[in-house]
Structure 1
Amino acid sequence: MLLFRLGPRYLFIRSKNIDEVADYLESSLGGEVTEFWKAWEKSSEYSTICFITDINHEKTYVEDAVKIVLINDVSTVILSSIVNSHMCHLVHRVDMGPAAIIMRIAGNEPALIDKIKEVFSAKEVDWYEGIGLGEKDDTIIAFTDKVLNGPVSDFLEPKLLIPQPVREVQNRLRLEGLKLITQSLNDSQWYELRINIYDSCGKYKENYDRLMYILSKLE
C-alpha cells in the first residue's frame, strides 16, 4: 500500500498583466484556467497550481487569485520557461507556497492525525489557510482514506501545516509512517505469513520479483 505521495506545488504570480500571463501559461505550458478544487481533482505530484494576482498585496493568498492555472509540470520548469521566453517583464513577483503531502491513513483516524500533529509540532489548518500561512520551506499534510495511485480530492479534516521542508517530512514519514499507522489500528497485532516458492526451473528470483510486485499492489 502506498502510504503517502507528494501533492502539487503552488506558485503565486503577481502581475499587472494578469490575462497575458494566464494566456502564456495556457499556450506555452499547456495550462488550464480553472477553479481551485477542480485543479486539485486533476492534479498529480508533478503538477503546479498557479495563483495569478495583481501586485497590490503585501502577501498573497488563494482568495486573492484573479485567475488560477493548473499546469501538469513542476514549478522549476515553469519558472525557467518564463525566464527563457523573455516574459519576465510581465511578472512583478513570484512566491512559492508550501509543499503538500497526501497521506493515506486507516484505523483510528483522529488519533493518528493527533499523533502526527504532535510528532511534527504541526498546526491544524484547512487548504486555504495552510497555503496562505505556509512558506516555501513548510509542508502541508492532507489525509485521505482513498488510494493514492491517481488524483485525490476526498480529504479528511483537518490538514496539518508543518514548519519543516518537505524533504525532512518525507524522510521521517518513511521511517515512522507505517509504525504510526499500525499503532492506530483497532487490532494492532501482527501475524506472520510464510510463503514458499517452488520452481522446477529454478527461476526463484523471477518468481520472487513477481510476488513482490503483486504484494505491492494489494490494498
Structure 2
Amino acid sequence: MISILRNGPKIIVFNSFYIDKLVEAISGQFGGIVSELNAAFETAEEDHTIVLLCDPGKKSIQISDIKETIVVPLPSDKLFSCLINTKISYLIEDSHISPGLLIMRTVGDHHRIIKSVSETYQGSILPLNECFNRGMANQSIICFTNHPVNRNLSLEDLHTKHVLIDMDVYKLQRKMRSQVLHFFNEGFQDKNWYDLQIRIFDRYSQYMLHYERLLLILDALDVGLILGESWGKDHPRFLMSVLVYQVRLFTLLDPIEIKKILIGLEHLDDGTRIIDLDLIYRGNKIEWPRAIGENKQQKSRNALGMIYRKEVLSKLNEEEKNLLTILEEKVIESRY
C-alpha cells in the first residue's frame, strides 16, 4: 500500500567495434529504444534493461565513455539469451554488468536516512555518476527519492547523494526487506504516522465493490498502509444505526489530504455521488467543508467532488484508469 523500496532497471555495458549495427539489431529485434541516459532512467521499468554501448578496449567504463543508450523492454537474462539465439552476439566484443540498483523512498530528513544506510552496510556516499564509475557487478547502488517509488522516476527525482555498497543486489535486497521500515522511520523528526479510519457505507450494499475501488486508489497514490478492516456500525442519527465496512489506514499524509481523495472517490465525473466515505481521526469525523481549501468558491459537496476526482484521475496511469472505469460500471449496473 506504500512502497518504500524497489528494484531499478538492470544496466549492462556492451563494448563493440560495430555500435551502429548493434543499435540497429537491438532496436529492430528486441524493441529497444535509443535514448539519452537521463530519459532512459525515467522510462525504464523494473524488469527492463538499460544497455550502454561503448568502444572496446577499456576494463572500466566512465559515464563519458557511453556512445549510445538503449532501453530494452526485457529482463537482462532474457536479453542475453535472445542475443545468443539470434546469432548477433558476434557484434559484441565484451560485456559487463553494472552494479545492481535499488531505489528507496525517504520522508523528512533524508540525509539522516542515507547516513544510516551507509553506516549499516559500510557503503560509500557518492553522487550517482561516481557510483556508476566506481561500481562493479558484485556491488549495489541504493538511490534515494522523496517521491513514491511505485512510479517511474527521472534522475531529477532522486536525491543528489547515493550509497555504493560492496554487496550484490540480491543479497542486499534480502537484508533490506527486514530493515527498510526502520531506515524509513529514521527520517521522521516533527512528522508522524496518522492513524485513520475510513468507513464505507453503501445503501445498495455493494461494500466489497467499493472497497476494491478504494484499495485501487490508495495503492495507486501510494498513500499508506492498511493495517486492518472489519464490519461495524455507525450512528448517523439518534436511534439510527447503519452497517459500515471499516478500513484502518496508517499514512504520512495529513488527514485533510486523505479527505480530499475520499471526496473525489465519492463522485463520478458528472458529480453524481455514489458512495459515503467517512474519515475518522482521533475518534472524530472530518466533515467535508474542512477539505475546501483553496476552492472557497465551491459551495456544494458535489462541485468539490468533481474537482478532487479530476485531481485523483490525473495521478493514475492508463491501466489504473481502466480498472477504475470497470469498477464504476459495475457500481452503476448494481443499481438497476
TM-score, structure 1 length as denominator? 0.87
State the one-letter code of the partner of 1:17.
Answer: Y
Matched, 1:174 2:177: yes
Q: Secondary structure at the match of 2:138?
A: coil
Matches within 5 A, 1:132-143: 132-143=133-144
Offset, 1:59: 1.9
Unaligned runs of 5+ in 1: none
After superposing the two structures, state which structure 1 stretch, 180-189 or 130-139, moved more: 180-189
Match of 1:102 in 2: 103
> Residues 53-80 of structure 1: CA distance to partner in whole angstroms, max 9, x if unpaired?
1112132233212111111211111111
Encode CA deviations 1:11-67: one digit per residue, 9 max, x unaligned.
110111111111111000111111110111111111211111111213223321211
User: 101-110 or 62-71: which moved more?
Assistant: 62-71
Q: Which runs of 5+ in 2 are unaligned?
A: 224-336
1:187 Cα shift? 3.8
| Distance across 1 between alignment mates of 2:91 and 2:222 | 49
Structure 1 equivalent of residue 54 of structure 2 = 53
State whether residues 112 and 186 of structure 2, in contact with CA within 8 Å, keep that contact through their aligned partners in structure 1. Answer: no
Aligned-pair CA distance for 1:132: 2.1
Q: CA deviation at 1:194?
A: 7.2
Equivalent runs, 1:1-219 vs 2, <5 Å: 1-153=2-154, 154-187=157-190, 216=219, 218-219=222-223
- Decide whether the 8 Å contact of 1:51 with 1:62 is kept in 2: no
Deviation at 1:205, TM superposition (A): 9.4
Distance 1:218 1:85, change over 3 A: closer
Go from structure 1 to structure 2 and tell me whether the alpha carbon gap of 1:15 and 1:108 turns closer, same or farther (over 3 Å shift).
same
CA contact (8 A) 1:18 1:52 kept: yes
* TM score, norm. by length of structure 2: 0.58
CA contact (8 A) 1:107 1:181 kept: no
> Does the CA contact (< 8 Å) of 1:48 and 1:75 recur in 2?
yes
| RMSD across aligned positions (CA) | 2.5
- Separation of aligned partners in 1, 2:174 and 2:209: 30
Checking the alignment, whether the CA contact within 8 Å between 1:104 and 1:144 is kept in structure 2 is: yes
Aligned AA (2:175) = R
More strand by share: 2
Q: Would you say the 8 A contact 2:108–2:191 is kept in 1? A: no
Answer yes or no: is the 8 Å Cα contact 2:15–2:94 preserved in 1.
Answer: yes
User: What is the distance in 2 between the residues matched to 1:33 and 1:163?
Assistant: 31
Higher relative contact order, chain-length normalized (CA < 8 Å, sep 6+): 1
Give the superposition deviation at 1:128.
2.1
Q: Is the CA contact 1:182–1:188 (under 8 Å) kept in the aligned structure 2?
A: no
Following TM superposition, where does structure 1 have runs of at least 4 consecutive aligned residues deviating by more than 4 angstroms?
188-199, 203-218
Q: Distance in 1 between matches of 2:39 and 2:218?
A: 33
